[in-house]
Amino acid sequence: MAQKPSVPRGTRDFSPVEMLRRNYIFDTIRRTFSLYGYLPLETPAMENLTTLLGKYGEEGDRLIFRILNSGNFLADVPLSALSSADIAAVTQNISEKGLRYDLTVPFARYVVQHRDEITFPFRRYQIQPVWRADKPQKGRYREFFQCDVDVIGSNSLLNEFELIRIIDRVFSELNINVIINVNNRKILAGIAATAGAGDRITDITVAIDKLEKIGSEGVRQELLQRGITPEVIRRLTPFLSLRGSAAEKIAGLKREIAASPEGEKGISEMEELFSYLDMEPSQAKVVFDLSLARGLNYYTGTIIEVKAADMAIGSICGGGRYDDLTGIFGLPGVSGVGVSFGADRIYDVMLNLGLFPEQTGSSTSVLVINFGGEELPELIKIAAALRGAGVATELFPDAVRLKKQFSYADTQHIPLVIIAGSEEIKASQATVRNMKTGEQTTVSLSALPEFIREAKNR
């Protein structure tokens, strides 16, 4: 008992100050999602293991937190498994549920389970924590939040366009300069096919993905190491050297790509997407990045990745189109597209670049000093009037020394303090102290709410 209690490794408490900042991010994201017609959805923290297992690869399965069955959970375990300490066999028998690992698989499960109640296209967003039994390290937690926004049941590229608009709007409201990189998986397939190595698309794109980091000669070496022939590399070279605007790259692709129906489809999709983007310009730079690969096995069309322009921290948002998300649960052929915002990294970027507005320091605007005398009924009325006017107000509950009450306002970053002792109350007035400037103003009680509202907005 003498030792301080703590939280499990890789998990965190969010203090009020952190919560106010996180809510500022979440509220901005949520407001923008709503503005584009996306609706909230939440799924339970626990899912059946039959839902989760086999969806994230072998490594993913290992990282799922499993819930011990309640009651006599050993009853169903074969004695042979127990006595041989056979982990796999025992685990299978003592646990049926796990904590969700991401928001995508629960979303697919939801769509299949509720397909008869859902109207398509189904636009949903989901902001919830996920859990992974990863080794905790700086910036990597075992509990962290994902903010996913997806539309399912529509092939239209207007969806991709609006998701890019959403990304642009969220980061512009948060004051984060970003670069939005876009590519299309079908184009990557077309390039690989043109080079005569359609079956080597994974090796080729993994190498190309490093273009920014290691340059074109580096990519060449990497491709050779992966057993791509010099002839294939020679045919890839024109694509790697495409430069310029999206329109210029599209023109270049059209010139260089061999007859590949998939590649041509990808090019026409990019052409259509950029035509929409031209109709409503973004604040952020939207770049057609031919080296962007991102989760190939999963995505089937457009892929999107967002980077902070002013801080090297990796991707802070990303996603793309998938043509068979719900197939794993027996509902094939439903196309969707979505992106996920990385709340923790966005938080880190904003903290690092000092982008949190001052108002996220505290949600309370006013502290009323408590003198503990006959003026108390009037102080209660003052607090009531301010709250009635929508001003978040605290009346200090204990009549302790003034110094302690002021110091409380200070550490809590409460910007305004109201001092109304019995003398002031008799004169029907109060003194308002601005905690930042130290400036004090005497105001009549009746004018107080209006004065505070104005002072608050200054």
156 interacts with a second copy by CB under 8 A: yes
Cα distances (Å, whole numbers) of residue 115 to 15, 27, 124, 336, 404: 39, 29, 14, 14, 59
| Residue whose CB is less far from a second copy, 79 or 312 | 79
Residue 219: closest CA among 296, 290, 117, 147: 290
CB of 204 to a second copy, least distance (A): 32
- Minimum separation from the CB atom of position 217 to a second copy (A): 42
Least distance (Å) between residue 365 CB and a second copy: 9
Distance CA 449, CA 382 (A): 8
Name the nearest CA neighbour of 339 among 150, 89, 117, 181. Answer: 150
Our CB check for a second copy shows the closer of 194 and 335 to be 335
Nearer to a second copy, 276 or 298 (CB): 276
Residue 364 in contact with a second copy, rule: CB under 8 A: yes
Residue 69: phi and psi, rounded to 5, are: -60, 150
Q: 141 by DSSP, 3-state: which?
A: coil
Q: How far is the CB of 83 from a second copy (least distance, A)?
A: 6
| Torsional class of 384: left (φ above 0), alpha (ψ -120 to 50), beta (otherwise) | alpha
Asked if 114 is part of the footprint of a second copy (rule: CB under 8 A), the reply reads yes
**Candidates 6-14, 188-196, 293-301, 308-316 — which segment interacts with a second copy by CB under 8 A?**
6-14
Does 16 participate in binding a second copy (rule CB under 8 A)? yes
43 contacts 114 by C-beta, under 8 angstroms: no
- Supply the angle between the helices 376-388 and 448-457 in degrees, to the nearest 10: 50
353 binds a second copy (CB under 8 A): no
Which range, of 88-96, 214-222, 300-308, 421-429, touches a second copy by CB under 8 A? 88-96
- The span of 80-88, 214-222, 229-237, 307-315 binding a second copy (CB under 8 A) equals 80-88
Q: Would you count residue 162 as binding a second copy (CB under 8 A)?
A: yes
Q: How far is CA 188 from CA 55, 199, 333, 389, in A?
A: 24, 12, 22, 58
Give min distance, CB of 275 to a second copy, in A. 9
Which residue of 56, 276, 298, 451 would you call a contact of a second copy, by CB under 8 A? 276
Q: How far is CA 355 from CA 25, 200, 228, in A?
A: 11, 44, 46
Q: DSSP assignment of 85-139, as one string?
A: T-HHHHHHHHEEEEE-S-SHHHHHHHHHHTTTTPPSSEEEEEEEEEE--PPPBTT
What does each C-alpha distance from 259 to 208, 231, 254, 273, 427 come to in angstroms?
21, 18, 10, 22, 89
User: Given the rule CB under 8 A, which of 96-104, 184-192, 244-252, 416-424 is the region that contacts a second copy?
Assistant: 96-104
Smaller CB separation from a second copy, 398 or 454: 398
Positions 48 through 67 that interact with a second copy (CB under 8 A): 48, 50-51, 62-63, 65-67
Residue 6 lies near a second copy (rule: CB under 8 A): yes
The residue among 184 and 291 lying less far from a second copy, judged by its C-beta, is 184
Q: Report 193-252 residues binding a second copy (CB under 8 A).
A: none
Instruction: Mark residues 22-41: x for contact with a second copy by CB under 8 A, - for none.
Output: -x----------xxxx-xxx
With residue 285 as reference, give the H or E element that holds it: strand 285-288
Question: What b/e readout covers 137-161, taking b as 16+ CB neighbours within 10 angstroms?
Answer: eeeebbebbbbbbbbbbbeebebbb
Cα(111)–Cα(126) distance, integer angstroms: 13
- In angstroms, give the least distance from the CB of 269 to a second copy: 14
Length of the chain: 458
Stretch that binds a second copy, among 178-186, 216-224, 256-264, 386-394 (CB under 8 A): 386-394
Q: Which residues in the 278-337 window bind a second copy by CB under 8 A?
A: 279-280, 328-330
SS3 assignment, position 301: coil
- Scanning 1-9, 194-202, 207-215, 303-311 for contacts with a second copy by CB under 8 A, the matching segment is 1-9
**Cβ partners under 8 Å of residue 259, min gap 6:** none
**Nearest approach, Cβ of residue 169 and a second copy (Å):** 8
**Nearest residue (CB) to a second copy, 174 versus 232:** 174
Piece of the chain touching a second copy by CB under 8 A; list 180-188, 286-294, 302-310, 359-367: 359-367
